[in-house]
Amino acid sequence: MNVSQKVRVRFAPSPTGDLHIGGMRVALFNWLFARQQGGDFVMRIEDTDQARYKPESVRSIVEGLSWAGLDWDEGPFMEKSHIRENGECGPYFQSQRTEQYRKYVDELLEKGAAYHCFCTVERLEQMRKDQEARKAPPRYDRHCARLTAGEVKKKLDAHTPHVIRMKVPEQGRREVDDAVKGKVSFDLSLIDDQVLLKSDGFPTYHLAVVVDDHLMEITHVFRGEEWLPSTAKHLLLYEAFGWEQPQFGHLPLILAPDKTKLSKRHGAVSVLAFREAGYLPEALLNFTLLLGWNPGKGSEKEIFSKEEMMAHFSLAGIQTSPAIFNYEKLNWMNGQYLKRLSLRALTDDALPCLTEAGLLTRLEAEEWITADGRSVKRAYVEQAVALAQPRLMCVKDVVQESDLFFIELSYDARLLQWKQTGLANARARLLDVRGLIGTAETRDATPPTLEEKMKAWIREKGHDMGDVLWPLRVALTGREESPSPFEVMDVLGKEETIKRLDAAIEKLSNFSI
């Protein structure tokens, strides 16, 4: 790469499915490098595999990166639900660039760096079987490379189906100074004569990627480690064309916790699936940054804003060993971001979840009906969400963490009993609490003040704390574990608190004590 040349990197996904977390990691590292260097970040859709092409995948890729907060300077983008293109190096869909590939294939044929292959599928299958029987490495036997010019012309004139293969030197080595792996050497005797142009006229990845990276003036290619073995073929193509090769960098694999390939059986793996599960884009981006990169020795920093990512990111920090996708760590990190989220923003995210779960039904802009039939304002919902916020790992957790504020409680009366004190004792203590809550001293008390006064009263009466607070907690929440009953009372308000206490007292009265 010319030192004075502007940095240009690209993210070039294949639209064969939803945007995978591994794809987002590739996009993020490219984006960070481009933004650090004042360069361009290009998106290109590599859709030459028409058999696996899914049109909806392009939308998923564009939507996923946009949701994650990664912007690009050239390529396809969404405009009013339609895919448009922006940039001077388009088209940015390889399927729309086939004429260019044909031109460069012809150049390779003229230079003797490629040749026509007319072998049938049947012949190739038999060749592979013979190689397996001899325990020989699987590679094309160059049958068609030995055809004379006259034989080739005759077959072409007869419109015999064919592909174009690159002619790999039978001996020698090629070396790449990889930005992540260091120096990597390839033995050319092990490299197959790769198909460059298929019989349907579409290029394979290897031809298209080299031609497009050159024409789009890509200076650095950062991609997954799975493409490292193919780099030898790409080096040979750059050499055959007489083009300067970009700087390569191959990112480590991402494995599941069990050290196998990360897949859907391990949990969510697509970016939009994480969005649907209630993860925040900032948290997912931060987590993705640490999949194969670290800020350096001695640094324990784990939370990075986008600005901090750009300030700290370096190619030297990319590790060579596989990264392990730890779902527990992702949940923890998402929880950290949820704790930092403003209550208004969190409530905005939580309301669709609460509505979908049937806990709330919207009446007006800022008013809802709860599942138990009460009319509540946004302030009530925000208070409920605020109590749940410290325990949330993802936004959808708000349903199970705050449903007690929107439903009619259902629980076994025996749950109200503290240890072995008996149900009659639980009923008596709840009657005491009900009376205490109605006094002038506690009517307008804040949770800390109410807690202080109630605990002072408990000590004065000589009761055990659990004797009173346990049945109070269960009466208000229907649960053994919950936020402080005093915080719950503050959200519910006096009327609903007394209603729930009365329901618990009646439940105990109707139970055979």
User: If you ran DSSP here, which 8-state letter would residue 314 be given?
Assistant: -
Q: Tell me the C-alpha distance between 41 and 30, whole Å.
A: 7
Q: Tell me the C-alpha distance between 404 and 483, whole Å.
A: 11
Q: Where does 229-277 have alpha helices with state H?
A: 231-241, 271-276
Number of H helices, E strands in the chain: 19, 16
Cα–chain center distance at 428: 53
Listed in sequence order, the residues at least 6 apart from 135 whose beta carbon sits closer than 8 Å to its beta carbon are: none
Q: ∠ CA 217-173-111 to the nearest 5 degrees?
A: 60
List C-alpha distances in Å: 298 to 138, 294, 304, 329: 47, 10, 16, 20
For 327-337, b/e burial (b = at least 16 CB within 10 A) is eeebbebbbeb
Q: Select which of 264, 396, 419, 455 is catalytic.
A: 264
3-state secondary structure of 236: helix
Q: Tell me the C-alpha distance between 14 and 504, whole Å.
A: 59
Listed in sequence order, the residues at least 6 apart from 80 whose beta carbon sits closer than 8 Å to its beta carbon are: none
Q: Please say if 264 is a catalytic residue.
A: yes
Residue 136: φ, ψ to 5°: -90, 150
Q: Region of 278 please: left (phi>0), alpha (psi -120 to 50) or beta.
A: left
Cis peptide upstream of residue 246 (ω within 30 degrees of 0): no
Residue 181 annotated in ligand binding? no
List C-alpha distances in Å: 241 to 9, 112, 178: 21, 11, 21
CB 433 within 8 A of CB 454: yes
Annotated binding-site residues for ATP read 264
Annotated binding-site residues read 264
Active site residues: 264
